[in-house]
């Protein structure tokens, strides 16, 4: 295993220390228990947004804490759920009396731990569950996984909260954006979790994993290595079948790298995916291309589509000031 680390045990804490120093104008790091929180409060009390999950997907979620987005993020160990004490401490820290909204990716450990935390919280709270990965069928036993669409929910609900939406409004909006969002990814390589020291799954030199999860979970099917056009066609068709955008529909198109795929390849995917939907008359109003929901050093990428309306566009465009997503301020 080749990594820039000192030890498996110290990596997360040392990295979070560096993160909070590099962005000391935006966030602070609570060490016991671990969470990252926003230091500049909004002008008036607002609903507090708290997310989290296993580490290794950076900038999700820690890099998305700040004005117009999350109030706190609870990082677990790599690919491991954070614990309820982290979520409770984070919620206590950022609660301003308007309630706490948890944004949770649909994985058994995350769901269970956020539920335990929610039950023990004194304050008003609600949870938005993200399950945008269409590589699994809708009726899969544990439901669909939450992947790169999470960022879109966090951005849009974050803007609404900043603008004074109530807890119930934020919860309804989050559910609505999640339902309007679909994602699917393809891996060209596995990732290597430091604590394991070897690739999470085997993949042949001429093989790709279509429908891979963001922890390297096997996807729909291993396939032969094919052209970018064929890979993108698989992904866009699956997403299109789910959301069925009509001609004239405005959408946000997000190409998300898993960590080891050059921007040049991501922009090629953007071009191919945008051609697919433009031919159907779908209007790509907003775009996001880059490494946002990563899987450590996995090569590959996912495509996410969100159906937009004027309200969602306004919220997407609203100012955001986090370590890794910033515009309008």
Catalogue the active-site residues. Answer: 57, 215
Least distance from its own copies to the Cβ atom of residue 90, Å: 19
Between 106 and 183, whose beta carbon lies closer to its own copies? 183
CA distance 41 to 193: 35
Least distance from its own copies to the Cβ atom of residue 210, Å: 12
Between 3 and 244, whose beta carbon lies closer to its own copies? 3
Strands (E), 16-159: 27-30, 35-38, 48-55, 66-67, 72-78, 100-105, 125-130
Between 106 and 324, whose beta carbon lies closer to its own copies? 324
CA distance 101 to 126: 5
Q: How far is CA 294 from the centre of its chain?
A: 9
Write out the DSSP string of 132-161: -BTTS-TT-TT-PPP-THHHHHHHHHHHHH
Between 21 and 244, whose beta carbon lies closer to its own copies? 21
Strands (E), 149-233: 181-187, 207-210, 221-224
* Sheet of 72-78, strand order: 27-30, 35-38, 72-78, 48-55, 100-105, 125-130
246: DSSP letter:
P
Between 102 and 316, whose beta carbon lies closer to its own copies? 316
Question: Which residues of the chain form contacts with its own copies (CB under 8 A)?
Answer: 2-7, 11-12, 14-19, 21-23, 55-56, 58-59, 63, 78, 186, 188-189, 205, 208, 225, 227-229, 231, 259-272, 274, 284, 287, 289-291, 294, 296-297, 299-301, 324, 326-329
Least distance from its own copies to the Cβ atom of residue 148, Å: 15
Least distance from its own copies to the Cβ atom of residue 309, Å: 20
123: DSSP letter:
S
Least distance from its own copies to the Cβ atom of residue 138, Å: 27
CA distance 207 to 199: 15
């Amino acid at each position: 295993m080749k990594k820039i680390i000192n030890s498996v045990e110290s990596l997360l804490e040392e990295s979070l220390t560096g993160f909070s120093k590099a962005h000391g104008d935006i966030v602070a790091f609570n060490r016991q228990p671990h969470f990252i929180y926003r230091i500049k409060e909004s002008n008036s009390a607002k609903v507090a947004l708290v997310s989290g999950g296993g580490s290794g997907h950076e900038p999700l979620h820690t890099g998305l804490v700040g004005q117009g987005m999350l109030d706190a993020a609870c990082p677990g160990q790599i690919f491991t759920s954070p614990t309820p004490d982290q979520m409770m401490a984070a919620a206590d820290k950022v609660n301003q009396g308007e309630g706490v909204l948890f944004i949770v990716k649909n994985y058994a450990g995350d769901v269970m731990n956020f539920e335990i935390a929610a039950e023990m919280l004194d304050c008003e709270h609600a949870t938005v569950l993200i399950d945008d990965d269409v590589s699994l069928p809708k009726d899969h036993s544990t439901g669909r996984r939450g992947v790169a669409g999470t960022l879109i929910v966090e951005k849009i609900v974050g803007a609404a909260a900043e603008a004074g939406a109530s807890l119930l409004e934020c919860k309804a909006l989050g559910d609505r954006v999640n339902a309007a969002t679909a994602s699917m990814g393809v891996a060209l390589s596995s990732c290597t979790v430091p604590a394991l020291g070897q690739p999470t799954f085997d993949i042949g030199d001429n093989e790709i994993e279509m429908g891979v999860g963001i922890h390297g979970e096997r996807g729909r099917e291993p396939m032969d290595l094919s052209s970018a056009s064929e890979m993108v066609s698989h992904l866009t068709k699956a997403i299109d079948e789910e959301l069925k955008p009509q001609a004239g529909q405005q959408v946000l198109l997000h190409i998300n790298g898993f960590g080891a795929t050059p921007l040049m390849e991501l922009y090629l995917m953007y071009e191919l995916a945008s051609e697919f939907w433009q031919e159907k008359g779908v209007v790509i109003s907003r775009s996001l291309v880059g490494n946002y929901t990563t899987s450590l050093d996995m090569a590959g990428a996912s495509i996410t589509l969100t159906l937009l309306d004027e309200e969602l566009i306004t919220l997407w465009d609203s100012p955001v000031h986090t370590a890794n997503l910033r515009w309008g301020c």
